[in-house]
Copies of this chain bind each other. A is one copy, B any other.
Amino acid sequence: MICVIACTNRPNSYSLKIAEYYIKLLQAEAVECTLIDLNTLPESYLFSALYHNQGKDESFNGIKKTIADAEKFIFVVPEYNGSFPGVLKAFIDGLDYPASFKNKKAALLGISSGNMGGSLALSHLTDILNYLGMHVLASKPRITRVEQTFVDGEINDAFVKGLIAIQAKDLLSF
């Protein structure tokens, strides 16, 4: 089972649209998938889930179970301030160790409005996932100027579709 994570809690993010596209692509290959959209974290996640109500939030417990059940992960990672969104690391900080990621495998896809595509974001995230024992697929494609790849809310860019198709294939055989 592959879990695709849209790594921001911004409502209606490009990351979510790309995560949904990724899932359609994988499902067309008969791969079982689940989506985690960080926008569905509890409002008070930073305090209740991490500290004073640790383990007691039903919706977050459901997300943790989804994570624990997945064998492979796809992180769709927007660039925020030269790295990934803080909510992604806060999310990871609230997960169980080692059940969540250890000895599992992940593919990272960077997206940005600018021309860096999140090189540093993907490097930082690789450090963290490796630290937690998760292997990261070498190929970490970056989609720059992400707005331009969408037409009417749909990805309309053969190059980007190609990037994703190749990475999906690589992850399946990783």
List residues of chain A with CB under 8 Å of any chain B CB.
9-11, 41, 43-48, 50-52, 80-93, 97, 103, 115-117, 119-120, 123-124, 126-140, 144, 174
Given pairs A9-B47, A11-B52, 15 additional interface contacts (CB within 8 A): A10-B50, A41-B46, A43-B44, A81-B97, A82-B128, A82-B131, A83-B127, A83-B128, A86-B87, A90-B90, A103-B138, A130-B138, A135-B135, A135-B136, A135-B137
Q: Do B115 and A9 have beta carbons less than 8 Å apart?
A: no
- Smallest beta-carbon distance A10→chain B, Å: 6
In Å, the complex CA distance between A131 and B135 comes to 15
This chain: copies in complex = 4
- Smallest beta-carbon distance A89→chain B, Å: 3
- Smallest beta-carbon distance A122→chain B, Å: 9
